[in-house]
């Protein structure tokens, strides 16, 4: 990645109007260098204001910074320029989902897949969001007299990939999410067996980028794990590649060191699965 | 700076490998008191510690795991530890790889308990 950054920087130095700025800004963003990424993309957009990819990268940077309103404006601008822009549509879907509009998010992702049926990350996100929409619809429906639906269970329905099969708590205590707080696989349940995966994932949105940026800045280097001891459970969060996280919950009776080993195994499985998916 | 807060930081900083320790406001990540080695970026550490504590507390609350008491971020070159103390305070320590995490955790939890008394 460092070589790519050097190469793109040189290209931009030679040709300041080059569209390589968007790729450079995206690489910097992925490294957690958000300030530098923002500077590059804003300069690039000054010279190329109608470049949809640039607005898409700008929106991602704002989203990583937690500025969702600016992210929305930038993705909207990208869609004004290129109405079928896949990255911007996915971004808008992400924002709608975060706002609780699962139906709007599904519509946006449907459009992505219409344009590019081979977009696997969009298909997985669509599956997650359709599951959420169905739960919302079911909750809004007046209950039938004898109807007593089971609480949603991710793997029982087959809607989320059951990649942690064989692990203790595979569908209740292990969650794979992306750095924006979207569920990728697994699941976490709360009291009464209710699926709380979306809440847990949303709480951890942005933690990876923040740990990376701040870790480098304060001299800790790349982060490996975050462990939290709470009243009734130990939580372990570990990065899975550059863009995903695994959250593992273990009962407080499990020693933290053992919980850590468990999380590392879950991370390895998740990494292998993501690589197999080409993600 | 309160003498009691400073005494706690001195005890924590005596643990081998510790490069700095701080009391931080959990709400806004502002440093209340610190004892840092030269070159340690206190404000950035305080901000990260508060944000980290907030985010994992959110995840713990979402999963019904209760209140978070202690957080550890392990990285290539060292570790950042955060103990949650009463009064909206965090005790934060930055340490290199040599540190005995168990010992440091004990000192930090002791300081948190003392703050509660």
Instruction: CATH number of the domain at A99, please.
Output: 1.25.40.10
Any domain includes A147: no
Residue A177 is part of a domain; what is its CATH number? 3.30.450.30
Question: Of all residues in chain A, what percent carry a pLDDT higher than 70?
Answer: 82
A183 to chain B, minimum CA–CA distance in Å? 13
Report the residue from A210, A219, A232 with minimal CB separation from B65. A232
Range scoring the smallest mean pLDDT among A84-98, A112-126, A211-225, B101-115: A112-126
Q: What is the mean pLDDT of residues B75-95?
A: 94
Any domain includes A146: no
Structure tokens, B33: 């008191």
Are the beta carbons of A125 and A93 closer than 8 angstroms? Answer: yes
Are the beta carbons of A58 and A74 closer than 8 angstroms? Answer: yes
> Based on the domain organization, do A160 and A119 belong to the same domain?
no
Q: Which residues from chain A sit within 8 angstroms of residue B61, using beta carbons? A: 203
Give the CA distances from residue B95 to residues A30, A118, B100, in Å, rounded to whole numbers and listed in that order: 26, 46, 9
Q: Note the pLDDT tens digit of each residue in A149-158.
A: 233 334 444 4
Q: Chain B: residue nearest A208 by CA?
A: B52
pLDDT at A223 over 80: yes
Any domain includes A142: no
Residue at which a domain ends, from A135, A167, A192: A135
Instruction: Output the pLDDT for position A226.
Output: 95
> Based on the domain organization, do A168 and A110 belong to the same domain?
no
Q: What is the mean pLDDT of residues A215-244?
A: 91
* Contact yes or no for B73 and A249 at CB 8 A: no
Report the residue from B66, B73, B74 with minimal CB separation from A231. B66
Any domain includes A67: yes
> Based on the domain organization, do A24 and A117 belong to the same domain?
yes
Any domain includes A149: no
User: What residue numbers bound the domain in which A256 lies?
Assistant: 154-276
Any domain includes A148: no
Any domain includes A141: no
Residue at which a domain ends, from A107, A135, A163: A135
User: What residue numbers bound the domain in which B76 lies?
Assistant: 3-116
Range scoring the smallest mean pLDDT among A10-24, A111-125, A245-259, B54-68: A111-125
A-to-B residue pairs, Cβ atoms closer than 8 angstroms: 132
Torsion of the alpha carbons at A253, B100, A225 and B43, rounded to the nearest 10: 120
* Contact yes or no for B68 and A220 at CB 8 A: no
Overall number of domains in chain A: 2
Residue B35 is part of a domain; what is its CATH number? 3.30.450.30
Can you tell me whether residue A161 is helix, strand or coil?
coil
> Based on the domain organization, do A7 and A103 belong to the same domain?
yes
Question: Of all residues in chain B, what percent carry a pLDDT higher than 70?
Answer: 98
Can you tell me whether residue A50 is helix, strand or coil?
coil
Question: Of all residues in chain A, what percent carry a pLDDT higher than 90?
Answer: 19
Any domain includes A91: yes
Label residue B17 left, alpha or beta by phi (over 0 means left) and psi (-120 to 50 means alpha): left
Q: Note the pLDDT tens digit of each residue in A39-79.
A: 999 999 988 888 999 999 999 888 877 777 888 889 988 98
Instruction: Output the pLDDT for position A140.
Output: 43
d(CA A242, CA A244): 6
d(CA A248, CA A266): 8
Overall number of domains in chain B: 1
């Amino acid at each position: 990645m460092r070589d790519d950054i050097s190469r793109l920087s040189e290209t931009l130095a030679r040709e300041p109007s080059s569209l390589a700025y968007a790729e450079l800004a995206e690489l910097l963003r992925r490294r957690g260098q958000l300030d530098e990424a923002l500077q590059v993309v804003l300069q690039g957009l000054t010279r190329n204001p109608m470049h949809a990819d640039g607005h898409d990268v700008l929106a991602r940077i704002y989203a990583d910074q937690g500025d969702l309103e600016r992210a929305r404006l930038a993705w909207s601008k990208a869609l004004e320029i290129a109405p079928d822009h896949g990255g911007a549509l996915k971004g808008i879907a992400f924002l709608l989902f975060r706002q609780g509009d699962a139906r709007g998010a599904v519509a946006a992702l449907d459009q992505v897949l219409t344009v590019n049926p081979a977009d696997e990350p969009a298909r997985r996100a669509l599956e997650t969001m359709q599951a959420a929409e169905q739960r919302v619809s079911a909750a809004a429906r007046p209950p039938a007299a004898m109807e007593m639906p089971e609480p949603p269970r991710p793997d029982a329905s087959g809607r989320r990939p059951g990649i942690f099969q064989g692990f203790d708590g595979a569908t209740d205590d292990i969650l794979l999410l992306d750095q924006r707080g979207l569920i990728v696989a697994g699941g976490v349940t709360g009291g009464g067996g209710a699926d709380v995966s979306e809440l847990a994932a949303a709480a951890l949105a942005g933690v990876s980028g923040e740990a990376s940026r701040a870790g480098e800045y304060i001299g800790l280097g790349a982060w490996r794990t975050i462990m939290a001891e709470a009243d009734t459970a130990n939580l372990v969060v570990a990065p899975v590649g550059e863009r995903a996280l695994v959250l593992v919950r273990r009962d407080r009776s499990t020693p933290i060191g053992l919980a850590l080993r468990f999380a590392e195994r879950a991370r390895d499985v998740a990494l292998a699965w993501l690589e197999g998916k080409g993600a | 700076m309160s003498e009691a807060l400073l005494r706690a930081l001195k005890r924590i900083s005596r643990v081998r490998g510790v490069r700095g320790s701080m009391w931080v406001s959990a709400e806004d990540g502002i440093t209340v008191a610190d004892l840092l080695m030269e070159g340690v970026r206190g404000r950035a550490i305080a901000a990260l510690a508060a944000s980290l504590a907030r985010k994992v507390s959110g995840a713990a609350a979402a999963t019904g795991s209760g209140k978070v008491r202690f957080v550890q971020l392990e990285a290539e070159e060292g570790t950042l530890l955060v103990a949650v103390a009463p009064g909206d305070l965090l005790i934060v320590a930055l340490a290199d790889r040599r540190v005995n995490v168990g010992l440091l955790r004990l000192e930090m939890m002791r300081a948190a308990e003392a703050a509660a008394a």
